[in-house]
């Protein structure tokens, strides 16, 4: 996978940007020397997450956390991936390989120190992001155990999307901005009783199969948790 492909993939993972439009813009902005602005999103794919985090944490503490809180989550990505980083600020990709400020200089240094970009097996995807007022669901993320195995755009229509779990399978339906589990190999079918999800932060969970389907995006309902 080339760096351009990595950015396409990560851009979808982090923000759902349409890269074909964004990338030339990013290049122009990078060349013009604009500094990253809020909202801030940084994604790193690495097979050495603890070491990268040690380096990254102090950089972000000094360059970003002094101004704004940051959300952080990490997931394992099964299979072969390109280890690299993608920085998005104000909805634009920032080319930190052509550094303009202390943050991008620090990121470039970390990327070089860890030999990015390079191919790795079963890496961890680490994501930092600022909260935004954007309340739109972006996509469905499908996890088996805590591995991110699939992403589905909400505008896609899938009548029967099969996901292999640890004991069997589930089948998802994604239609008209809602997702539900329409079939499951599990006995109790609790996951099928969970109804449809459409708001960021909502989950569908099949415990026996250890499959979790999450609506990604900022929290539209403005809730931090749902009691049920």
Partner 1 sequence: MALFTKSIRWPFLVVLLYGGGLFAQSKPTAPVFEVSTTKFLLGTQVDIIALGKSVQAAKKACYFAFREMERIENTLSSHRADSEIGKLNASAAQRPVRVSAETFAILQRALDYSRQFHGLFDISIGSISVLWGFNEDGDIRLPGPDTLQQKLALVDYRQIRLNPADTTVRFLKPGMRVDLGGIAKGYAIDRAAAMLRQHGIRQFLINAGGDIYASGLKADGRKWRIGIKHPRQLSELLATFELTDFAVATSGDYERYAIIDDKRYHHILDPRTGYPATDYRSVTVLAPSAEAADVWATYLFILGWPQYKKLQPSPVLALFVDHSGTVYYDLAWKQKYGLQLVE
Distance from C-alpha of 24 to C-alpha of 173, rounded to nearest angstrom: 35
Residues in a beta bridge with 143: 148, 212
Residues in a beta bridge with 161: 172
- Contacts with partner 1 by CB under 8 A lie at 50, 53-54, 57, 61, 65-73, 131, 143, 145-146, 178, 186-190, 193-199, 202-203, 205, 207-208, 210, 212, 221-228
- Of 9, 14, 18, the C-alpha closest to 155 is 18
Q: How many CB atoms lie within 10 A of CB 149?
A: 18
Nearer to partner 1, 7 or 144 (CB): 144
We find the least distance from the C-beta atom of residue 154 to partner 1, in angstroms, to be 13
Nearer to partner 1, 158 or 198 (CB): 198
| Cβ–Cβ < 8 Å for 75, 118 | no
We find the least distance from the C-beta atom of residue 224 to partner 1, in angstroms, to be 5
What is the number of alpha carbons within 13 Å of residue 83 lying toward its C-beta? 20
Nearer to partner 1, 32 or 227 (CB): 227
Nearer to partner 1, 24 or 177 (CB): 177
DSSP 35-65: PP-SSEEEEEEES-HHHHHHHHHHHHHHHTT
We find the least distance from the C-beta atom of residue 51 to partner 1, in angstroms, to be 11
We find the least distance from the C-beta atom of residue 71 to partner 1, in angstroms, to be 5
Q: 93 by DSSP, 3-state: which?
A: strand
Nearer to partner 1, 28 or 157 (CB): 157
| Residues 137, 140, 144, 146, Cα dihedral to 10° | -30
We find the least distance from the C-beta atom of residue 218 to partner 1, in angstroms, to be 13
């Amino acid at each position: 996978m080339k760096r351009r492909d990595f950015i396409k993939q990560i851009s979808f993972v982090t923000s759902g940007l349409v890269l074909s439009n964004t990338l030339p813009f990013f290049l122009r902005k990078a060349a013009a020397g604009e500094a990253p602005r809020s909202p801030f999103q940084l994604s790193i794919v690495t097979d050495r997450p603890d070491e990268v985090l040690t380096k990254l944490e102090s950089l972000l503490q000094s360059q970003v956390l002094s101004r704004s809180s940051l959300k952080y989550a990490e997931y394992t990505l099964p299979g072969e991936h390109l280890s690299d980083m993608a920085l998005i600020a104000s909805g634009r990709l920032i080319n930190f390989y052509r550094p303009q400020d202390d943050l991008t200089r620090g990121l470039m240094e970390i990327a070089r120190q860890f030999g990015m970009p390079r191919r790795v097996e079963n890496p961890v995807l680490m994501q930092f992001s600022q909260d935004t007022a954007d309340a739109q669901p972006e996509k469905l993320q499908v996890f088996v155990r805590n591995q991110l195995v699939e992403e589905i755009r909400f505008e896609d229509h899938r009548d029967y999307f099969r996901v292999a779990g640890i004991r069997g399978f589930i089948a998802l339906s994604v239609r008209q901005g809602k997702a539900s589990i329409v079939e499951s190999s599990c006995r109790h079918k609790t996951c099928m009783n969970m109804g449809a999800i459409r708001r960021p932060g909502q989950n569908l969970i099949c415990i026996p199969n250890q499959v979790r389907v999450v609506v990604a995006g900022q929290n539209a309902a403005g809730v931090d948790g749902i009691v049920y």
